[in-house]
Structure 1
Amino acid sequence: MSKNDRYVVKHPKGWAVKGAGAERASSVHERQADAERAAKQVVEKAGGGEVRIQGRDGKWRDSDTVAPGNDPNPPKDMKH
């Protein structure tokens, strides 16, 4: 686990982006895809790390390693 890692978790107002061990969210988004995109941007700017995505059922469904400037699995709805 890196200090740059971020987690996308269910939040009462949608989906939150949190750092490892953080109580408060760094950002909250209506859509999971928006939260995932934000988490990947934070990790990329911080120098790389991992983004873990929590599913609606509370189970971890996905994990992406993000290197600076290189996202191997961008969200499918992300416009290029």
Structure 2
Amino acid sequence: MAKLPKFTLSQNDKKKWELKREGTGDVIKRFSTKAAATKGGVLEKAVGGMGSVRIKKRNGKIQEERTYPRSMDPRGRG
């Protein structure tokens, strides 16, 4: 199985949500709200349709992880 690029969606110190590439810390996209980032297809499009995204709560704890495409989900939920 190919290794998927990893990303994290978290809130920055200015109360905005950032999608960052893990390892480099490069900001891929910024969002005004978490809802705007997680609504239908937005994250998948932002990661180019391929990647694993950890979505964090405001407190920094992981809320959920989404894998794109779903068929690549290691938990077999594709």
TM category, shorter: 0.5 to 0.7
TM-score (norm. length: structure 2): 0.65
For the 8 Å contact 1:6–1:39, the answer to whether it is kept is no
The 3-state SS of whatever aligns with 2:46 is: helix
1:67 aligned partner: 69
Which 5+ residue runs of structure 1 have no aligned equivalent? 73-80
Which 5+ residue runs of structure 2 have no aligned equivalent? 71-76
- Distance between the aligned counterparts of 1:24 and 1:67, measured in 2? 22
Cα offset, 1:11, TM superposition: 1.1
1:24 aligned partner: 26
Residues 1:59 and 1:49: Cα distance change in structure 2 (over 3 Å): same
Cα offset, 1:27, TM superposition: 1.6
| 1:32-52: CA deviation from partner (whole Å, max 9, x where unpaired) | 122235432123x34x22111
RMSD across aligned positions (CA): 2.3
1:11 aligned partner: 12
Aligned pairs, number: 66
TM-score (norm. length: structure 1): 0.63
% same residue: 23
| 1:6-44: CA deviation from partner (whole Å, max 9, x where unpaired) | 21011123100111112331221110122235432123x
